[in-house]
Structure 1
Amino acid sequence: MKRIFLALFLTLMASLSFAQDVKVVYHVSTGVETAAGILGNITNHLNAAPKDKIVVVTHGPGIDFLLSDAKDSKGREFSGQVSALASKGVEFRVCNNTLQSRSIDPSKLLMETKVIPSGVAEVARLQAKEGFVYLKP
Structure 2
Amino acid sequence: MKRQLVALSFALCTAIAAAQDVKVVYHVNTGVETAAAILANINNELNASPTDKIVVVTHGPGIDFLLNNAKDSKGREFSGQVSALVGRGVEFKVCNNTLQTRKLEASSLLMEASVVPSGVAEVARLQAKEGFVYLKP
Same fold (TM over 0.5): yes
Partner AA of 1:76 in structure 2? R
Structure 1 residue 19, shift from structure 2 partner: 2.1
**Any unmatched runs of 5+ in structure 2?**
1-6
The CA distance in 2 between the partners of 1:104 and 1:11, in whole Å, is: 52
Match of 2:31 in 1: 31
What TM-score, normalized by structure 1, do the two folds share?
A: 0.89
Report the identity percentage. 77
Match of 2:63 in 1: 63
Partner AA of 1:49 in structure 2? S
Q: C-alpha root-mean-square deviation of aligned residues, in Å? A: 1.7
Flag the 1:13–1:131 CA change in 2: closer, same or farther, 3 A: closer
Classify the secondary structure of the residue corresponding to 2:43: helix
The CA distance in 2 between the partners of 1:123 and 1:12, in whole Å, is: 31
The CA distance in 2 between the partners of 1:121 and 1:65, in whole Å, is: 21
**Any unmatched runs of 5+ in structure 1?**
1-6
Structure 1 residue 16, shift from structure 2 partner: 4.9
Match of 1:4 in 2: none
Match of 1:128 in 2: 128
Aligned length: 130
Classify the secondary structure of the residue corresponding to 1:68: coil
Structure 1 residue 120, shift from structure 2 partner: 0.3
Match of 2:4 in 1: none
The CA distance in 2 between the partners of 1:54 and 1:88, in whole Å, is: 9
Structure 1 residue 14, shift from structure 2 partner: 5.0
